[in-house]
A and B are shown apart, each in its own frame.
Chain A
C-alpha cells in the first residue's frame, strides 16, 4: 500500500510546519509539497500528481477559488479544507467549491491523520461545529433544532 501523496497549503508558517510534522510522522502519508498561497498550491497540483490537498480556507488567492480550480484538473485531488473559522457560510462555500472535508483547526487535536485518511477513502468529514447547520442549509431543510 503506497503512501497518500499530500499537498499542504497554509499561509501561517507555524501552522504549516505543525501540519507537516504531524503528517510526516504518520506512515500513511507522504507530504510531497507545501504552499503558502492558493496560486502556489494550484501550480503544484497541476504539475505533481496528488491524492489529497489540505487547503487552508483563508490565505492569499483564497481557499474556495483554489478548490474550484483544482476540481477542474484532469485528475483532481481530494480537497479537504482546514480553517480556524467555522462559520456555516464558509463551510458551505468550500463544499460548493468541491471540498469533501472541512476540519476546524482548533478541534483536530491528534485526529488529523485519521480524518484526512477517511476523506481520501471517500467519506465526507465535517469536523466543525457548523457542520450540521451547513448540511441542513445545503439540503434546504428548515433551519431548526427540536
Chain B
C-alpha cells in the first residue's frame, strides 16, 4: 500500500475532523466533505463510534487513536479510496484528550499508481513472453504455460488455454493457472476428477472474432461438457467475470484463452482486454511456429523414411522433374543395369522401350497423368520383365506439379508363371475337349467306387441322360454282375498293383443291355505326392468289331470247307480218271506188251530178221506205258492214313526209285491240320520232289514238315545244281514252279523257290491253318 510520503501532487480533496475521548465529533471541515455528501460541521456532536458501529475497522482505528497511537490507514469508503491519518491529542501531562484525523481522497492517485504498475507488469509480461517465444520455440506447451501464468497473474484469478486437437473438430484444455497457490493445488487435485470428455466444440469457438465476455452468471445453466466444466470452475473459484480470446494463426483457429475474475478484481478494463489480445496473438504465433516447425520436422522425418523405404524397396523407383531431370533413383535401377540419363529421362525410356512406346508413355502421362504396362529390359544378368507404373506427382493441397514418379516391379517370374499357367490351362481345355468329344466311355471314380465323371460319349453309349448327376452313382451301376466279380477279383487288384489294366469286359446300359467293350483302366495319381486318388477308365464299344471278327471266322470256316470240297472233288475226279485209265488203256497196253513178248520169242525162232523192228515197237509200247504210269501216279489221291509224312515218304519212294539220290522225310513235328490242307501240301511237295529228280542231279533231298505261324510249313531242299540267278523266271520248261505257287496262293498260303548256298534249291511252302483247329 502506498505511504503518505509517496503521495504525489494529484492528491484529492481533504477532510479534517476531531473527536473527544468519547468519540463525539468536535470538528468537521474541508473540501472533501462535499464529495462525501456532508455539510461542513454537520457531523459535530455526532458520536462517530456509534455512527460507524457497523464498520469494525473504522471503530478500531478510532479507538487506536484515542488510545494514543498515531496511524495512517487507507480505506475504501463510498466508492472512493481514502488515506486517513490519525493523531491523538494530548494535554500537558500527556493525557489523551481526544484525536484529530485528516482524510485525503487518494482514489485518483491510486488509480494512476495502479495503471503505472499494471503497465510495468504488462511490459514485463510481454517481454517474458517474447523471451519464452524465442527460447521455447520448439515447446509450444512451455510458451503457453508462461503465457497463461503471466496473463493470469496480471489480469485475472484463473486462466486457461484450450488447444485445437489436430485432426479433430474440438479444443481440449491444455493449461490452467490460478493466482493462489492453495487454489492451484486444489485445482490439480480437482482436475483429476474431471470428466475425460471435457472439450470445447470447434463450432462454438470458431465464430469468435473478438474478445468475448463469458456469461458466467448463467454458467450453471450450461449442459454440454464444456459448459458444465465452466460452471464448475465458476462455482469452485467464485468467479464473476470471464473473457475468452481466440488464438488465430494465419486465419485458422488454433485455440482459445480464457481468463476469469472473482469479485476481488472486478470487471476487465480496456487495458486488460488489450493485454489479453496481445498475449493471445503471441500465443497463436508460438503455436503456429511450433506447428510449422513440427510439420516441417515431421515432413523431414517422413521424407527420410520414405527415401529409406524407396532405397530398400525391391522395386525400381525413380522421381524425375517436369523437365525430365533425375530427382531420385533408388539402387535397384542401377543394379538392374539401367543407366539413367540424368538430364533426359525420356532418352533412357526410349532406349529401353523403343522410341514409339517411349512416345506413347510420354503422351499418356501428359494426357491422363498415368501409364502402366510391361517393359522388357535387358540388363547384364539376362532378360527381365518389369511392370511399370508412371504417374504425375502433384501437391495434395495446391495441385502444383511436382514431377513424375516411376515404379517398376520385376515380374519376370510372375509373367513366366502366368504364361505357364495359361499354357497349362489351354492344355487342360484341349484334353477336356478331347474327352468331351470322344465317342468312347470315359469315366473317373473315387477309390471308394463312387463315380465322379462320365463323358457325353459314355452317357450316350449307355443311354444315360446328358445332364444326369453321376456323383450319386457307383461303379456297380455300370457293369454286369459277372463283370463286377471280374472287376473286384481281377481288375481292381491289378490296377492298384500295376497302376493299369487292359482287357475286355461288358458295360450295362440303363436299359439293361450288355455292351461288349475294350477296357483300359488306370490309377490317377496326385502329381506332387504320387498318391493315388482316383480311378479312370476308357472303354470302347467293340460290338461291331466282335461281329466283324465272328463274320471273319465264319468266312474262313466257309473258305476252308469250300477248299476241302474243292480238293475232295478234285481228288475224286482224279481218282475216277486214274481208275478209267487203269481199267482200260493200261490193261490194253499191258496186254500188248505181253503179246509182243510172245511174238518176240516166236520171231526169234522163225524170223530173227524182224526182231529189231519188233524191239522198236516194244520200246514205244514200254515208253507209253511208263508215261501212263507217271500220269497215274500224278492223278493218284494221296493216302493220308499215315499223315502227310507217310504220304510224302511213299511219294519219295516212288519218285526216287531206281536213281542214286538219297532222301529223308523229317515229319517229327508235323502238326494236326485238316486233310484238305495236307492234300494241297502233298501235291506241291511232290511236284518239288519231281522237279528235284528231273532237273537237280542232287545227291540228297531233305523234306521237313513243321507247324509255323498258325500254319503248315513244308520245305524241300536239295544239293543239286540249283535254278540259276532267278529261280522262277530264268529256268525254261519249269511250269511246275508256277503251278506250285498258284496252288499255294489259291489255298491262302505261299510258296517260295530259292537257290541254296553253296548249291541246290530250297522250296518253302506255307499254308494257313484255319482257326480254330490250330496246332
Q: Is the interface of B mostly helix, strand, loop or mixed?
A: helix
Do A22 and B587 contact each other (CB < 8 Å), given the known contacts A88-B650, A89-B639? no
Residue interface mask B572-598, A partner, CB < 8 A = 1: 000000000011101111111111011
Which residues of chain A from 106 to 140 have a CB within 8 Å of any chain B CB? 106, 108-112, 129-130, 132-133
A106 to B586, CA, bound (A): 8
Binds B, one of A11-19, A32-40, A63-71: A11-19
A19 to B590, CA, bound (A): 10
Min C-beta distance of A58 to chain B, whole Å: 8
Min C-beta distance of A90 to chain B, whole Å: 10
* Interchain CB contact under 8 A, A87 and B636: yes
With beta carbons under 8 angstroms apart, the residue of B582, B591, B652 that contacts A85 is B582
Chain A residues within an 8 Å CB radius of B590:
15, 18, 84, 105-106, 108
Chain B residues within an 8 Å CB radius of A87:
636, 639, 650
* Interface residue? A146 (CB, 8 A): yes
Residue interface mask B117-141, A partner, CB < 8 A = 1: 0000000000000000000000000
* Interchain CB contact under 8 A, A25 and B593: no
* Interchain CB contact under 8 A, B650 and A112: no
Chain B residues within an 8 Å CB radius of A15:
587-588, 590-591, 594
Binds A, one of B232-240, B340-348, B376-384, B655-663: B655-663
* Interchain CB contact under 8 A, A106 and B625: yes
Name which residue of chain A comes closest to B593, CB basis.
Answer: A109
* Interchain CB contact under 8 A, A129 and B664: no
* Interchain CB contact under 8 A, B597 and A112: yes
* Interchain CB contact under 8 A, B646 and A18: no
Min C-beta distance of A80 to chain B, whole Å: 15
A112 to B594, CA, bound (A): 8
A65 to B522, CA, bound (A): 74
With beta carbons under 8 angstroms apart, the residue of B582, B592, B594, B657 that contacts A19 is B594
Min C-beta distance of B83 to chain A, whole Å: 181
* Interchain CB contact under 8 A, A143 and B646: yes
* Interchain CB contact under 8 A, B663 and A145: yes
* Interchain CB contact under 8 A, B663 and A110: no
Total contacting residues, chain B, CB less than 8 A: 39
Chain A residues within an 8 Å CB radius of B583:
12, 58
* Interchain CB contact under 8 A, A110 and B601: yes
* Interchain CB contact under 8 A, B598 and A22: yes
* Interchain CB contact under 8 A, A21 and B598: yes
Chain A residues within an 8 Å CB radius of B639:
87, 89
* Interchain CB contact under 8 A, B662 and A18: no
* Interface residue? B39 (CB, 8 A): no
* Interface residue? B35 (CB, 8 A): no
Min C-beta distance of A37 to chain B, whole Å: 15
Which residues of chain B from 256 to 301 have a CB within 8 Å of any chain A CB? none
Min C-beta distance of A142 to chain B, whole Å: 10
Min C-beta distance of B439 to chain A, whole Å: 62
Min C-beta distance of B440 to chain A, whole Å: 59
Chain A residues within an 8 Å CB radius of B598:
18, 21-22, 25, 110
Residue interface mask A76-94, B partner, CB < 8 A = 1: 0000000011011100000
Do A129 and B654 contact each other (CB < 8 Å), given the known contacts A85-B582, A106-B589? yes
A88 to B633, CA, bound (A): 13
With beta carbons under 8 angstroms apart, the residue of A18, A88, A145 that contacts B656 is A145
* Interface residue? B629 (CB, 8 A): yes
Do A110 and B597 contact each other (CB < 8 Å), given the known contacts A12-B587, A15-B590, A84-B582? yes
Residue interface mask B594-610, A partner, CB < 8 A = 1: 11011011100000000
* Interface residue? B653 (CB, 8 A): yes
A105 to B629, CA, bound (A): 11
Do A14 and B582 contact each other (CB < 8 Å), given the known contacts A25-B598, A112-B594? no
Chain B residues within an 8 Å CB radius of A105:
586-587, 590, 593
Min C-beta distance of B607 to chain A, whole Å: 16
Name which residue of chain B comes closest to A143, CB basis.
Answer: B649
A21 to B587, CA, bound (A): 15
The interface centre, meaning the residue of B583, B590, B657 with most chain A CB atoms within 10 A of its CB, is B590
With beta carbons under 8 angstroms apart, the residue of A18, A88, A89, A129 that contacts B591 is A18
* Interchain CB contact under 8 A, B591 and A17: yes
* Interchain CB contact under 8 A, A22 and B594: yes
Residue interface mask B717-758, A partner, CB < 8 A = 1: 000000000000000000000000000000000000000000
Residue interface mask A36-49, B partner, CB < 8 A = 1: 00000000000000
Chain A residues within an 8 Å CB radius of B625:
106
Name which residue of chain A comes closest to B652, CB basis.
Answer: A145
With beta carbons under 8 angstroms apart, the residue of B582, B595, B654, B663 that contacts A18 is B595
Which residues of chain B from 551 to 588 have a CB within 8 Å of any chain A CB? 582-584, 586-588
Residue interface mask B627-650, A partner, CB < 8 A = 1: 011000000100100000010011
Chain B residues within an 8 Å CB radius of A111:
597
Name which residue of chain B comes closest to A133, CB basis.
Answer: B653
Min C-beta distance of A27 to chain B, whole Å: 12
Chain A residues within an 8 Å CB radius of B601:
25, 110
Chain A residues within an 8 Å CB radius of B636:
87
A12 to B589, CA, bound (A): 12
Min C-beta distance of B735 to chain A, whole Å: 26
Chain B residues within an 8 Å CB radius of A146:
662, 664
Chain B residues within an 8 Å CB radius of A132:
653
Min C-beta distance of A99 to chain B, whole Å: 18
Name which residue of chain B comes closest to A84, CB basis.
Answer: B586
Name which residue of chain A comes closest to B600, CB basis.
Answer: A110
Chain A residues within an 8 Å CB radius of B626:
106
* Interchain CB contact under 8 A, A21 and B629: no
Min C-beta distance of B650 to chain A, whole Å: 6
Do A108 and B587 contact each other (CB < 8 Å), given the known contacts A144-B664, A145-B662? no
A49 to B89, CA, bound (A): 234
* Interchain CB contact under 8 A, B591 and A12: yes
Do A109 and B597 contact each other (CB < 8 Å), given the known contacts A88-B650, A144-B664? yes
A85 to B590, CA, bound (A): 12
Chain B residues within an 8 Å CB radius of A110:
597-598, 600-601
Chain A residues within an 8 Å CB radius of B588:
12, 14-15
Name which residue of chain B comes closest to A106, CB basis.
Answer: B625
* Interchain CB contact under 8 A, A14 and B662: no
A58 to B639, CA, bound (A): 18
A89 to B653, CA, bound (A): 13
* Interchain CB contact under 8 A, A22 and B646: no
A108 to B621, CA, bound (A): 13
Name which residue of chain A comes closest to B598, CB basis.
Answer: A22
* Interchain CB contact under 8 A, B594 and A108: yes
Chain B residues within an 8 Å CB radius of A58:
582-583
Residue interface mask A1-32, B partner, CB < 8 A = 1: 00000000000101101110110010000000
Min C-beta distance of B366 to chain A, whole Å: 112
A12 to B626, CA, bound (A): 20
* Interchain CB contact under 8 A, A145 and B587: no
Min C-beta distance of B156 to chain A, whole Å: 154
A58 to B580, CA, bound (A): 12
Min C-beta distance of B713 to chain A, whole Å: 21
Chain A residues within an 8 Å CB radius of B665:
144
A28 to B37, CA, bound (A): 226
Sample (24) of A-B pairs whose CB atoms are under 8 Å apart: A14-B587, A14-B588, A15-B594, A17-B591, A18-B592, A18-B595, A58-B582, A84-B590, A87-B636, A106-B629, A108-B597, A109-B594, A110-B597, A111-B597, A112-B594, A129-B654, A129-B658, A130-B653, A133-B650, A144-B649, A144-B665, A145-B653, A145-B663, A146-B662
Kindly list 4 other residue pairs between chains A and B, CB separation below 8 angstroms, not including A25-B602, A129-B657: A12-B583, A22-B594, A22-B595, A88-B650
The 7 closest A-B pairs by CB, nearest first: A110-B597, A105-B590, A18-B591, A12-B587, A18-B594, A84-B586, A14-B591
Q: Residues of A with Cβ closer than 8 Å to B?
A: 12, 14-15, 17-19, 21-22, 25, 58, 84-85, 87-89, 105-106, 108-112, 129-130, 132-133, 143-146
Q: Residues of B with Cβ closer than 8 Å to A?
A: 582-584, 586-595, 597-598, 600-602, 618, 622, 625-626, 628-629, 636, 639, 646, 649-650, 652-654, 656-658, 662-665
